[in-house]
Structure 1
Amino acid sequence: MKAFILGSGFGTRLYPLTKVIPKTLIEVKGKPMLGHILENLDKSKQIDEIYIGYNIKFEKQFKYFLRNFKSKKKIELVTNKTISESPSSIGAINSFVKLKNIQEDLLILAGDSLFDFDVDKFINFHKKRDDTCVAIYDIKDKKRVVKKYGVVELDKIGKIIGFEEKPEHPKTSLVATLCYILSTYDLHHLDKKAFKENAGELIEHLIDHEDVFGFLFDGKWFDIGTREDLERARKEF
C-alpha cells in the first residue's frame, strides 16, 4: 500500500514559527513531526511507498530533511508548485491521485498530526471491511472538541453514522483524525463535487453514499494546529 502525507500547508496559526519552516518540520521531542510520522510508517510491513506533498516555498528544507533521514521505504516528494497558500487537503489528495495514477487503496496522513498506533493494525482493520476507514481518537471530554475537531458517531459495528465539523454542541468526544485509508472505489469521489476546504467534507460526503468505518485507537494523538497544541505535544508525546 502507498501512503500520502499532507505537508503542503503554511500553518499560518503558528506564525512567526512557520514563516521560515513548514509546520511538519517543526521539532517535537528532538525531531521534526515528519520524522516521527515516517518512523512509524517505516515499521509497517504493508506500506511500500511513501509520498510527501509539500509546498515549493519550502523545497530546500524538505530536501535537506530527506537527505538526512534513513528509511527502508521508497520516499518521494510531490510538490503543488505554488508559493501561495496551499490547496485544500482534498484538492492536494486529488492532485496526487491523478499525478501518480493511483489505482489502489491509499493511506492518507496529516503532516501535522502525531500518533503512536500501529499502522498495520489500521490497514488490517481496513482489509477486513474493504471500505474506506478513518482513524478515530476518543478525547474523552466533549468540552475539548467544541468548535475544534470533526466529531463522529459510531454504531455497534464501528460504522460511522454521523459526522459534524467543529460542532458547538458535540454529540460525542470521538474525533475523526486526518488519517484515512481511502478504498480504490472511493477515490473517484474526490472529483464528485466541489469540496471547499477541509478533509472532513470528504468523510461527510462519503458517509452519505457509502459505508465508512472508524478505527478507534488507543495511545496518543496530537493535532498541531496552534502554539498551544504544539506546546502540549512537546510535553506529552
Structure 2
Amino acid sequence: MKAILLAAGLGTRLRPVTNTTPKCLVPIHGKPLLGYWLDLLLQSGTTDQVLINTHYLPDAVRQYVAASPWNAAVRLVHEDTLLGTGGTVLQNRGFLGDQAFMLVHADNLTRFDPAAFIAAHTNRPAGTELTMMTFDTDAPQTCGIVELDARGVVQAFHEKQPNPPGRRANAAVYIFEPSVVDYIVSLNREVCDISTEVLPHFLGRMNTFHNADYHRDIGNLESLALAEREY
C-alpha cells in the first residue's frame, strides 16, 4: 500500500521551535516526527512507497530524507502554495493509481500496528469507503470528536467544539478507497480540506480503527512537552 505523509504545514503554534525547523522534523527524544512515521510504515513492510509534500523549509526535509535509510522509497513533492490536505491528494493522483492508500498527518506521534489497520479496512463494514484511525483524547475540545454506531461506523462528527459528546477522536490517519479521491475531484477545487470538506460527505460510510496504544497530535508546545514525557 502507498502512503501520503502530509508534511507541508507552517507549525505556527510550535514557535519558536519551528522558526528554524519544519514541523515534521520537530524531534521527540532526538528523533524527528517524520522519522517515526517512515520507520513505522516502511519497516513493517505494509507500505512500499511514501509521498511527502513540502512547503515550509523544504531543504531541511529534503536533506533529512536523503540521509534516511528509506530514501529510495520516498518521493518528495513541493507545493509553492499550500493546497490543503485534499488538494495534495488531488494533485498526486498519478502517484496513488487506482488503489486504496494511507493518508497521514505527519505532525502526529503515534504507535500502532499498520497491518492491523489495513486489515480493519479490508474487512470494513459493507458500504463504507474509508477507515479513520481514532484515539481517546485528553483534550476533546481541540479535536474532531466522532460518534459511532455498533459497527464502529462514524455517524456524527464534532470538529473542535467547546463541549463535545465524548473523547473518541479522529487521529487524522486514514485509509481511502479511490472513490474518496473521485469525490475530491468532483468538488472541482484546487485547494480543499479533508476534515471539513470531504469527511462530512462520508458520514455513515466511514469505518474506524481504534488506536489504544499511543497517539498525540504535536500541535503546540504543551503537547510537545507531554510527548517527551509520555513516549
TM-score, structure 2 as length reference: 0.90
1:109-159 deviation digits (Å, cap 9, x = unpaired)? 0110011001111011101126310000022x5xx211x100101111111
Partner Cα distance (2:117, 2:169) in 1: 16
Q: Is the 8 A contact 2:100 2:175 kept in 1?
A: yes
Partner Cα distance (2:12, 2:130) in 1: 30
For the structure 1 residues 26 and 219, does the alpha-carbon distance in structure 2 shift closer, same or farther, using more than 3 Å as the test?
same
Partner Cα distance (1:72, 1:78) in 2: 14
Q: Is the 8 A contact 1:133 1:182 kept in 2?
A: yes
1:123 to 118, 133, 140: 118
Paired positions, count: 226
Partner Cα distance (1:27, 1:229) in 2: 13
Matched letter for residue 144 of structure 2: G
For the structure 1 residues 217 and 228, does the alpha-carbon distance in structure 2 shift closer, same or farther, using more than 3 Å as the test?
same
Q: 2:144 matched to 1:150? A: yes
Partner Cα distance (1:197, 1:131) in 2: 19
Q: 2:134 matched to 1:136? A: yes
In angstroms, what is the RMSD of aligned CA positions?
2.0
| Structure 1 residue aligned with 2:201 | 205
Partner Cα distance (2:98, 2:191) in 1: 24
Report deviation, 1:53. 0.9
Partner Cα distance (1:228, 1:17) in 2: 12
| Structure 1 residue aligned with 2:102 | 107
Unaligned runs of 5+ in 2: none
Q: 2:86 matched to 1:90? A: yes
For the structure 1 residues 94 and 150, does the alpha-carbon distance in structure 2 shift closer, same or farther, using more than 3 Å as the test?
same
Matched letter for residue 114 of structure 2: V
Q: Is the 8 A contact 1:48 1:73 kept in 2?
A: no
SS of aligned partner of 1:100: helix
For the structure 1 residues 77 and 40, does the alpha-carbon distance in structure 2 shift closer, same or farther, using more than 3 Å as the test?
same
Report deviation, 1:198. 4.4
Q: Is the 8 A contact 1:5 1:110 kept in 2?
A: yes
Partner Cα distance (1:232, 1:125) in 2: 29
- Sequence identity, in percent? 26
| Structure 2 residue aligned with 1:71 | 70
Q: Is the 8 A contact 2:52 2:75 kept in 1?
A: yes
Partner Cα distance (1:73, 1:116) in 2: 23
Q: Is the 8 A contact 1:178 1:199 kept in 2?
A: no
Matched letter for residue 175 of structure 1: A
Q: Is the 8 A contact 2:89 2:181 kept in 1?
A: no
**Structural mapping, 1:1-237, within 5 Å:** 1-55=1-55, 57-71=56-70, 74-82=73-81, 86-97=82-93, 99-100=94-95, 102-129=97-124, 131-139=129-137, 141=138, 144-146=139-141, 148-193=142-187, 198-201=193-196, 202-207=198-203, 211-237=205-231
For the structure 1 residues 196 and 228, does the alpha-carbon distance in structure 2 shift closer, same or farther, using more than 3 Å as the test?
farther
1:13-70 deviation digits (Å, cap 9, x = unpaired)? 1122212221000111111000011110123232111111111x42221121012211
Report deviation, 1:72. 8.5
Report deviation, 1:217. 1.7
For the structure 1 residues 195 and 158, does the alpha-carbon distance in structure 2 shift closer, same or farther, using more than 3 Å as the test?
farther
Matched letter for residue 177 of structure 1: A
Matched letter for residue 53 of structure 2: G
